[in-house]
Amino acid sequence: MEAIIEEQAQLTADAVARRSYGKLVAFLAARTRDVAAAEDALSDAFAAALRDWPRNGCPDNPEAWLLTAARRRLIDAARRRQTSDAAVPQLQLLYEELEAELEAASAEREIPDRRLALMFACAHPAIDAEVRAPLILQVVVGLDARTIASAFLVSPAAMSKRLVRAKTKIQQAGIPFRIPGRDELAERLDTVLDATYAAFAEGWADPAGTDVARRNLTEEAFFLARLLVELLPSEPEPLGLLALMLHAEARRPTRRTETGDYVPLAQQNPVLWNTAMIEEAEDLLKRAATLNLIGRYQLEAALQSAHVTRCRTGRHNWPQVVQLYDALAALAPSPVVEINRALALAETEGPRAALDAMPKPTDDARLNQYQPFWAARADLLARIGACRKAHEAYELAIGLERDPSVRRFLQQRQAALSM
């Protein structure tokens, strides 16, 4: 019985962490602007919960219990740091205000959600541009430094140092936790959109929901994207981002077979796609178009729309897809765009032209660790009969792939080569 109670406490704590980590950090750090201290206090609160809940039972409102425990630890830690007694009354008043708000929220069983405000704080121009989106992914979404480092193709140690410096900057610069005004929005919105999409992409990479670190990430990303659309209805790019995410999520049921095998887009059954999501995505794209300001996420969503149309109708539209990639490359150039444009070009001008259009690792060393580059190169080499080089490229792609089902798919492609 004791083991069952401990397991229930652990399951409850895990569920709260997945569901509300960023929400809790944002609430705790909103006034103090000390993100690192808020994270430490919340970590201590979770540890205390795992000691207390097995003995006394899980509380009706575990989020409020954790916030109360974390607030007490913040007060204790701040008092230990004080070198001047004059600062103590102001500190106490700050936390009394926080406690009053927490008590009111607990009574209503709903903690105020300040995640979006925290995201815009992390995107402040005083913080180095290269770490703004990773910072959001850690403090709002709850990804660890190792996972974030992998997504941004840097070492975990380097990413950890950048994240620590960024949190210190928020505190030292007194960066406020608020949605910026219209005149400040442009320099921050792109970062918030990028981080939201990165969170979605991490969750989308785990279609079966078996990776604990990525579980519920798509739901979190959809919440943030919808919140952005609601708060910024006259901004077209949040509409484009939500449309892009909906188009991708609509295909989730067909991305794996019943036995867990990977299914590429061209072999998926469009009948099984989520029609309601696709229709919502198309409506969002139409709304964005009326605002007469094109952006990266609208173009990305338009590309997904083109792929959906081709797969549903069977009509060849690769020239239009290449044109969309040309526009995207002009607006937001990246090796990823170049790779996808080259694959589309293979359908109109052939695989040799596509290979010529592919980016080169000598021009961007990050490609050496980017699985989709080697998988795309292997496919194109196989199509021109360069089987030995294709085999080598597949070998690199297989080594870089972390999803077992995709790895099996690449191994099958490699085995089918005529050496």
Q: Is 256 helix (H, G, I), strand (E, B) or coil?
A: strand
Cα angle 109-110-116, degrees, rounded to a multiple of 5: 165
- The CA distance from 256 to 208, in Å, is 8
What pLDDT digit, counting tens, does each position of 3-41 carry? 666 778 788 888 878 778 888 888 888 777 788 888 888
Cα angle 296-151-36, degrees, rounded to a multiple of 5: 105
Contacts of residue 132, defined as CB under 8 A and 6 or more positions apart, other chains included, come to 122, 123, 124, 166, 191, 195
Q: Is 262 helix (H, G, I), strand (E, B) or coil?
A: strand
**Beta carbons of 315 and 259 less than 8 angstroms apart:** no
The phi, psi pair for 259, rounded to 5°, reads: -95, 5
Contacts of residue 27, defined as CB under 8 A and 6 or more positions apart, other chains included, come to 67, 102, 111, 112, 114
The phi, psi pair for 68, rounded to 5°, reads: -65, -45
- The CA distance from 72 to 407, in Å, is 48
pLDDT averaged over the chain?
Answer: 85
pTM score of the predicted model: 0.81
- The domain segmentation of the chain, as residue ranges, is 2-113, 317-419
**Can you tell me which residue has the tokens 């409850």?**
12
- The CA distance from 204 to 2, in Å, is 37
- The CA distance from 410 to 402, in Å, is 12
Superfamily of 317-419 according to CATH: Tetratricopeptide repeat domain (1.25.40.10)
- Using alpha carbons, list the distances in angstroms from residue 163 to 176, 195, 203: 18, 14, 21
The phi, psi pair for 63, rounded to 5°, reads: -60, -45
What pLDDT digit, counting tens, does each position of 185-217 carry? 878 899 999 989 988 988 877 655 555 445 567
Q: For the chain, first and last CA: distance in Å? A: 61
**Beta carbons of 368 and 390 less than 8 angstroms apart:** no
Enter the tokens of residue 339. Answer: 């790779």
- The CA distance from 67 to 381, in Å, is 56
What pLDDT digit, counting tens, does each position of 367-406 carry? 898 999 999 999 999 999 999 999 999 999 999 998 899 9
- The CA distance from 104 to 98, in Å, is 10
- The CA distance from 240 to 255, in Å, is 23
pLDDT score recorded for residue 264: 93
Q: Is 336 helix (H, G, I), strand (E, B) or coil?
A: helix
The conformational region for residue 178 under phi > 0 = left, psi -120 to 50 = alpha, else beta, is beta
The tens place of each residue's pLDDT in the chain, 419 residues long, gives 566 667 787 888 888 787 788 888 888 887 777 888 888 888 888 888 888 888 888 888 888 888 888 888 877 776 666 544 455 555 555 555 555 555 555 544 555 678 888 888 889 888 888 899 998 888 888 888 888 887 777 888 888 899 999 988 888 888 888 777 777 887 889 999 998 998 898 887 765 555 544 556 788 889 889 989 988 888 999 999 999 999 999 999 899 998 889 999 999 999 999 999 999 999 999 999 999 899 999 999 999 999 999 999 999 999 999 999 999 999 999 999 999 999 999 999 999 999 999 999 888 888 898 999 999 999 999 999 999 999 999 999 999 998 899 999 999 999 999 76
**Beta carbons of 306 and 290 less than 8 angstroms apart:** no
- The CA distance from 167 to 370, in Å, is 29
**Beta carbons of 41 and 68 less than 8 angstroms apart:** no
Enter the tokens of residue 138. Answer: 């850690």
CB atoms under 10 Å from CB of 68, counted, come to: 17
